[in-house]
Chain A
Amino acid sequence: MKKRIVYADHNATTPLSPEALEAMGPYLKTVYGNASSLHVFGQESKKALEDAREAIAGLINAEKPEEIIFTSGGTESDNMAIKGLALSSLNKGKHIITTQVEHHAVLTTCEYLAANGFKADFVGVDKFCRVNPKDIINAVKPDTFLVSVMHANNEVGVIEPIAEIAKLLNIENEKRRSAGHPKIYFHTDAVQSAGKLKLDVAALGVDMLSISAHKFYGPKGVGAIYVKRGTPVEPILHGGHHERNLRAGTENIAGIKGMAKALEAACREREKEQPRLYFLRDRLEKGIVEKIPETTVNGHYLERISGTLNVSFKYVEGESLMLSLDLEGIAASTGSACASGSSEPSHVLKAMGADPATAQGALRFSFGHQNTDEDIDYILEVLPRIVSRLRAMSPWWAKEHPQQ
């Protein structure tokens, strides 16, 4: 088979869609006013900004456009949710509940706060990476003020039961009101689910939700956070009066327009695109399991975003496998892009109870728009060859398979 280039790392980032690029064009060229300026240049930019805000609010079913705050991306949105609420809770609550499988933007922010006077509990998951909502409630303390649970996991694609957690938290908050305990706010990191799953903040029942444009074919360096009216977040970036005093800094109009357009397109195409990705992923998953013995699919079979496949091959190191695939033109990843460069096995797989060998050997494929059936054919041609080569060099494999 002829060598091809296959990009299968869409959970790391996606290419900018032509539609988003087109929407950005005027704001990179002719419409350059500062949205805070009072003159006509400023007004034009302000209009673009508020149109985008309205569009995004509509797409995620926010009650009001003002509930959308623009940021520099998922990491800032997560930081703002957690630190911003912590700052406003200084004299009320000290305790945060999150999970062991969050993205580092949430994990290390919580760890940082825990090292600076706050407390954090990291709730575990089952072997499919699912959080049990009851475990969240069981971790609640009188001074809990925040729960943060991701919507879909970046490494294994597993979808967490956000609406159920929200329901239980509502019941809990009822009780707390009469007991005089601080309200528990609920944040979800929806960076991996935006554009892939229906995002309805009312149905999910969250107070805050983070998204990042470049995960759904928008530009890099721009994101947003939904902050439900009445949620007392403090700014973490101080300066001018931008974004209702919640996020200082001249707005990135082009990026914001690109994000709004990209989200609109993703929501429009979701019902067609997601089943397509599901079938691509499913064909690869079946093909791998069929062709490569002693393979483990990591994550939940059903509750998983459609384009993500995380697999481990016994006695194969994920890094060698990933680099070998790269040399054959296939871009996949081990764990998450943000954690690469460290030899630590994936914290997600560890939390799922995977043995260290499985965690070290994990490989993630994540598919998107430009992937086709031919890509799957190519991966299914190349991958088994590489895995058997790597296994042939493994002393452990040889010990267990002496006849080969």
Chain B
Amino acid sequence: MNDKKNIMVAMSGGVDSSTAAFLLKEQGYETVGVTLKLWHSNDDKRRPGGCCSTEDISDARRVCNFLGIRHYVLNMEEEFKSCVVDNFAGEYLSGRTPNPCIVCNEKIKFGLLMQKAGQMNFDYFATGHYARVEREAGSFVLKKGLDQHKDQSYVLYRLGQSELSKLVLPLGAMKKPEVREIAQKNNIPAAHKPESQEICFVDDDYADFLSSYIKDFGSKVKPGEVVNSEGKVLGKHKGLVYYTVGQRSGLGISYEYPLYVVKLDTKNNSLVVGRKQEVYSRDMEVEYVSWVSGKEPALPLECDVKIRYLHRQAPAVVSSCENGVKVNFKEPQMAITPGQSAVFYRGETALGGGLIK
């Protein structure tokens, strides 16, 4: 019998997951590439990029052919729409700013797809994320990628022990330039593919997407008043979904000082604006909390907290409260945005996190 370990690697067609597959094969795994078809192919004509278009599927297939490994395409369009895209639209409608990649990772990539890998008897599951899985004192921990500019532990914080126990992240200890170099040196077909950063199902403007995706968008999204924190009306807004906390431009109001979005008041359909310092705050509540270890650590806990993907993490104290945890930062933070994820770090380790209320 073959005693090579089987591994399924999720492939987007980009340089990271392609190189991950290459490395796994080099390391002697029986490697199989899988690409998810997630979003409707009608969009392919308009949009060549993104992480799940037909072109990306072809790119992934080309890489697998090049590596001489099997490649399967799995269709999860329906699940993606109901778990990720509907959630994305719903969050915006309720005045929040979602991060769909985190939902997709939890429900689709490390949910359904990983389940599929288990059903197909794969020993391990791999992705091209920049983060590390390590074993410490009998349990699995999620650590930041060694490349601090690329670290993606933030989008993986909802993973638990059962996922981590099967997860291999070949790029966790690598830096992006090294990855590109390996891809180029070995002529991996994706070597020169540009980075994709945006949300895969949104063209370039999320508001355009929402207005065509949401039924009765016009009756759900209405213009309203722009007010300052004292309640003084300063102008009109187009509809709350067009704004996000901390946003500065696009208000169309000239005022004695620069105006920033402080809050989306869905109850009154009004947009609260103010001076830059009004966008800073020290406290937040976090709900739907998930801990990588599977159990809540002793609270209160001093740790670093990151409130969006590109936020520079900041020291805080996490303590328990009803339906989640309360976070008190040592220093006020700019634009704590409801719907975004707060992730708790201790040193290099991502302990867990939740959604900002």
Contact = CB atoms under 8 A, between A and B. Distances in A.
B156 to A, nearest CB: 23
A343 B32 CA distance: 21
Nearest to B2: A3
Interface in A323-365: 323-324, 326-327, 341-343
A327 B70 CA distance: 9
A203 B224 CA distance: 75
Given A341-B37, A343-B77, A343-B78, A323 B72 contact: yes
Nearest to B115: A393
B77 A324 contact: no
Contact of A343 (B70, B75, B118, B119): B75
A241 interface: no
A393 B118 contact: yes
B121 A327 contact: yes
Contacts of A342: 75
Interface in A389-404: 389-390, 393
Given A326-B70, A327-B32, A341-B37, A389 B78 contact: no
Contacts of A389: 119, 121
B120 A320 contact: yes
B76 interface: yes
Interface string B272-300: 00000000000000000000000000000
B165 to A, nearest CB: 16
Do most interface residues of chain A lie in helix, strand or loop, or is the interface mixed?
A: helix
Interface string B93-132: 0000000000000000000000110111100000000000
A341 B78 CA distance: 13
B74 interface: yes
A51 interface: no
A107 B121 CA distance: 37
Contacts of A327: 6, 32, 70, 120-121
A319 interface: yes
Contacts of A320: 116, 119-120
A395 B281 CA distance: 45
Contacts of A343: 75-78
Contacts of B78: 343
A47 B74 CA distance: 48
B122 to A, nearest CB: 9
Interface in A31-48: none
B72 to A, nearest CB: 6
Contact of A324 (B73, B74, B75, B120): B120
A341 B73 contact: yes
B253 to A, nearest CB: 47
Interface string B63-91: 00000001011111110000000000000
Nearest to B75: A343
A326 B120 CA distance: 10
A342 B74 CA distance: 8
Given A341-B73, A343-B78, A323 B120 contact: yes
Nearest to B118: A393
A390 B115 CA distance: 11
Given A342-B75, A343-B75, A343-B77, A324 B70 contact: no
A131 to B, nearest CB: 29
A390 B118 CA distance: 9
Interface string A297-329: 000000000000000000001011001101100
A326 B6 CA distance: 14
B61 to A, nearest CB: 12
A324 B32 contact: no
B119 A324 contact: yes
Nearest to A392: B119
Interface of A: 317, 319-320, 323-324, 326-327, 341-343, 386, 389-390, 393
Interface of B: 6, 32, 37, 70, 72-78, 115-116, 118-121
29 contacts: A319-B74, A320-B116, A320-B119, A320-B120, A323-B72, A323-B120, A324-B119, A324-B120, A324-B121, A326-B70, A327-B6, A327-B32, A327-B70, A327-B120, A327-B121, A341-B37, A341-B73, A341-B75, A342-B75, A343-B75, A343-B76, A343-B77, A343-B78, A386-B121, A389-B121, A390-B119, A393-B115, A393-B118, A393-B119
Given A317-B119, A323-B72, A393-B115, 17 more contacts: A320-B119, A323-B120, A324-B120, A326-B70, A327-B6, A327-B32, A327-B120, A327-B121, A341-B73, A341-B75, A343-B76, A343-B77, A343-B78, A386-B121, A389-B119, A389-B121, A390-B119
The 5 closest A-B pairs by CB, nearest first: A343-B75, A320-B119, A324-B120, A390-B119, A323-B120
